[in-house]
Chains A and B, each alone.
Chain A
């Protein structure tokens, strides 16, 4: 059974149809990339999955639940976490504090006026493990707003990871990064997928990253599903090549 199953999702804003009748099924443990030219509706599609806004028509099912009408917060509690194209972090707090908020919410402490020593130790362990996983242990006491872009992205991913998500949604994780930073984030995503077994759906522009990481690729063009397949299949697909070269498919 699929972990995430989107059926015939359509989203229109007035007369503009940003996503038209797109279906997608992602199985447990998969790393799926969503690609497409600018304006293909990738981020809109992501917003439908994560609950930023509801689809005009169609359904989203996650982990056996119909989540089409659920709020962002409820989807998070079911195990969906996401990052954004423009990094969303808590800039005036330290890396440790950023990650701690996620860890405490995930542990069910968000309304607590205090937590037990055991609870605090559990939270601290989660923070340490997560920071080690994304390679930010040495920068735990730095203010996130002062870090380099690549480290901010890693911090954002770390916050998502504290939720122990069943599904990790990454919106252009390498957007605006240089080669070295892109390489590091790619390696991080690879570790999360191969070693920690996270199910990941990501949007990506950088084709080297996509072909290096993805198990399967979904191609959107002008709001519609253009193709889906393994990296080899997509690389050989003429319609995809045409879309990227700007010709009519």
Chain B
């Protein structure tokens, strides 16, 4: 095993140990378990944005649309159709993912700023729909009431509604599933064609990769991950909110991904952790908490252009 592989293995084991033991080490440090749950969910969302941004080289600035649609899909299922947490997750994931895939067909030929602008527009369309369609979505007040339901495993029932620790582990399990799929895709031949497009679109095309089709697939996968994270977010809050679709929410996800490190798989999770913890701490001190997060973001971009985790830069094994 080479040095790089050994280092990677150590990092992965450390990350999972930290996540698995979070309900035990967070409270003594002044945190609380629900904060860890939020980090996981928003971290997964930031990793989904980065799946496209960091690994395909395509910046979507409206990804909150799929996040918010996931939340509404999950909430509507729980409120109107069936009192089942898994069905809520499935409904949200499918709603956001399918709509993302359909709209994605319209934009895969756009690049750079144009791609980002059109994705913002999509996001705002869904924002206003959620905002205006009060009879279905609750409008500005958000979608309520609904709540996550206990899990029936056949041999036991897990109360994830009132037991914060049980809910944390449920979210961690869902997070691990998504992250495993994401990692698996990135290590596949298809994942390598994503890297090829990020690195050099012209070369990718001249190697025989149909670039538009591959960007569409990557975009759609990313929308599904995003909607899945959004569904989990609805379960976290027992609430879905039009602001979850807004482009400022998309901007937060991009900030998390860039701050943590776009080129690294785990960077966005770290970015989300910093963002969420700062928000939690600073917002109890000042209403201008975002200025401080913004300042930190500027400093990171200036001094660590590859993000907090990107400092560990890839070097040749010469």
Judge if A77 is at the interface, Cβ distance under 8 Å.
yes
Question: What are the interface flags for B189-222 relative to A under an 8 Å C-beta threshold, 1 for contact and 0 otherwise?
Answer: 1101101100110111111111100100100000
Query: What is the bound-complex CA distance between A131 and B263, given in angstroms?
Result: 27
B residues lining the A interface (CB < 8 Å): 184-185, 188-190, 192-193, 195-196, 199-200, 202-211, 214, 217, 263, 314-318
**Contact: A93 with B199, CB < 8 Å?**
yes
Question: Which residues does chain B contribute within 8 Å of A146, judged by CB atoms?
Answer: 316
Contact of A101 with B208 at beta-carbon distance under 8 Å, contacts A90-B199, A90-B203 already known:
no
Q: In the complex, are the beta carbons of A72 and B206 less than 8 A apart?
A: yes
Q: Is the CB of A50 within 8 A of B199?
A: no
With known contacts A109-B189, A110-B190, A112-B190, A90–B200 Cβ distance under 8 A? yes
Tell me the complex Cα distance, A227–B199, Å.
40
Give min CB distance, B8 to chain A, whole Å.
15
Q: Which of A160-215 contact B (CB under 8 A)?
A: 160, 163
Chain A min CB distance to B199 (Å): 4
- Size category of the binding interface on chain A: 35 or more
Are B206 and A113 closer than 8 Å at their CB atoms? no
Does A81 sit at the interface, judged by CB under 8 A?
A: yes
Q: Is the CB of B318 within 8 A of A142?
A: yes
The SS class assigned to the A binding surface is mixed
User: Taking A141-B316, A143-B314 as contacts, is the C-beta distance between A114 and B208 under 8 angstroms?
Assistant: no
Question: Given A105-B193, A112-B190, do A81 and B206 touch, yes or no (CB 8 Å)?
Answer: yes
A49 nearest CB across to chain B (Å): 12
Sample 8 A-B pairs with CB under 8 A, ordered by A number.
A90-B196, A92-B314, A106-B208, A110-B190, A113-B185, A142-B316, A142-B318, A163-B208
Can you add 16 more A-B contacts, CB < 8 Å, to A73-B205, A84-B202, A106-B208? A73-B208, A73-B211, A76-B208, A77-B208, A90-B196, A91-B200, A93-B199, A104-B189, A105-B193, A110-B214, A141-B317, A141-B318, A143-B314, A146-B316, A160-B206, A163-B208
Q: Mark A71-105, 1 if CB is under 8 A from B, else 0.
A: 01100110001101000111111100100111011
- Of all chain B residues, the one with the shortest Cβ separation from A94 is B316
Please tell me if the beta carbons of B185 and A105 are within 8 angstroms of each other in the complex: no
Residues of chain A within 8 A (CB-CB) of B190 are: 110-113
B199 in contact with A105 (CB, 8 Å): no
Interface residues of A (CB under 8 A from B): 50, 72-73, 76-77, 81-82, 84, 88-94, 97, 100-102, 104-106, 109-115, 141-143, 146, 156, 159-160, 163
Determine the residue in chain A with the shortest Cβ distance to B185: A113
Alpha-carbon gap, A130 to B315, bound state (A): 23
Q: Which residues of B contact A163 (CB under 8 A)?
A: 207-208
**Chain A nearest CB, measured from B22 CB (Å):** 31
CA distance A208 to B133 in the complex (A): 74
* In the bound complex, CA of A84 to CA of B205 (Å): 13
Q: Given A109-B189, A112-B190 in contact, is the A90-B195 Cβ separation under 8 Å?
A: yes
Q: Which residues of B contact A77 (CB under 8 A)?
A: 208
Cross-chain contact of B202 among A88, A109, A112, A141 (Cβ < 8 A)? A88
A81 to B190, CA, bound (A): 21
B189 and A115 within 8 A (CB): yes
CA distance A7 to B116 in the complex (A): 42
